[in-house]
């Protein structure tokens, strides 16, 4: 089974920055991933899309993070990054990465990372 491992969460003050990354782990070889994205969920709220990037480099951002967050990926490493600048308290949430259309020798599926807490203090 494919596992996506996230790193880079933490506690920062308003106006600070964090760099988040997500990559597969384990011995299963991944041929390709159609798209990778970042989602977040705050207590009492639904999980929402933050940013998404396709294998071709096309990106989409939530209106709330445009101009502050940047998503990028390294296709050779199947790694996705989220650079978060000018963080605000409303960005506080658990952040999840997601791989859409993950091809392995035996399956095509979507996979979620374990989730990482990001807390922004005022």
Residues 51-65 have pLDDT tens digits of: 999 989 999 999 999
Q: What is the pLDDT of residue 1?
A: 74
| Cβ contact 52:80 at 8 Å | no
State both tokens at 61: 């951002």
Element (DSSP H or E) covering residue 69: strand 69-74
Percent above pLDDT 90 for the chain: 79
Reported as a pLDDT band with limits 50, 70 and 90, residue 5 is very high
Q: What per-residue confidence (pLDDT) applies to 76? A: 82
How does residue 25 score in pLDDT terms, banded at 50, 70 and 90?
A: confident
Between the alpha carbon of residue 73 and those of residues 14, 47, 76, the distances in Å are 26, 22, 9
């Amino acid at each position: 089974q494919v596992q996506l491992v996230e790193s880079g969460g933490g506690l920062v003050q308003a106006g600070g920055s964090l760099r988040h990354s997500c990559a597969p782990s384990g011995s299963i070889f991944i041929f390709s991933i159609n798209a990778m994205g970042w989602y977040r969920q705050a207590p009492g709220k639904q999980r929402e899309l933050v940013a998404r990037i396709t294998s071709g480099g096309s990106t989409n951002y939530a209106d709330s993070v445009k101009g502050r967050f940047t998503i990028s990926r390294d296709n050779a490493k199947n790694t996705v990054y989220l650079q978060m600048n000018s963080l605000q308290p409303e960005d506080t949430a658990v952040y999840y990465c997601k791989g859409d259309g993950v091809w392995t020798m035996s399956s095509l599926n979507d996979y979620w990372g374990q989730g990482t807490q990001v807390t922004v203090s005022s």
